[in-house]
Amino acid sequence: MSSILSNFSTTPLIEMTNSDLGLDIVGKQLKSNVFIIEGDGDDFVIGGQKFDLIKTGLGDDNIAGLGGDDKLFGGAGNDTIRGGVGDDYLNGGDGDDILIGGAGDDVIIGGKGADIMSGGAGSDIFEFFAEDLTSGEVDKILDFTKGEDLIRFKGIGSDATVQYDKTTGKVSIDGQDVISLDKGLNLNAEDTDNNGNWELF
């Protein structure tokens, strides 16, 4: 990994395109940051203490938002994304990702692949889209809390069968396991608007 960019104190926007080098970017001193990185390298990116927008490319990237309400996007790779303190939006993209929301009311999207997710403290929403629910790939949520957190399935159809098995901790859609949770929870699944978007709570 190349430490090409580090410890910026005055630049609010860094954009790197067509870069196959692994970049090491630290923006802790900024009040907010926008980092957009495209390329195949394995990048290490740390945001600032307020709002950060960070997007990375094809490598196995490590992203941390620190403070603020951040929007953090991984790409096609096995990424690790940490939101930190604040109401963050995390999207892993393709690959087998690790997503950690931290403190705050976070929205966490694993994307394609077998992802591991943790919301941390706060009321978190875990969102799953029909096109990302690939057969044989089961995502794991480490700390789902009934009455506080929410699982949302988008576009799976109003006639879908969404079930949680408290003996195994598995959530299935039409008989296919898609999520692993703690065992023994008492969860309900509803498509309240009859529009094919289900919620598990």
CATH 2.150.10 fits 13-200, yes or no: yes
Tokens representing residue 36 in the block? 């957009």
Domain locations in the chain as residue ranges: 13-200
User: In this structure, are residues 22 and 3 in contact, taking their beta carbons and an 8 Å threshold?
Assistant: no
E strand intervals along 49-186: 52-55, 62-64, 71-73, 80-82, 89-91, 98-100, 107-109, 116-118, 125-129, 139-141, 150-154, 162-165, 170-173, 176-180
Instruction: Give the model's pLDDT for residue 3.
Output: 44
Average pLDDT across the chain, whole number? 90
| Confidence band of 6 (pLDDT split at 50, 70, 90) | very low
Instruction: Give the model's pLDDT for residue 27.
Output: 67
DSSP character for 23?
A: B
Tokens representing residue 61 in the block? 């990237």
Percent of the chain with pLDDT over 70: 86
Instruction: Give the model's pLDDT for residue 1.
Output: 44
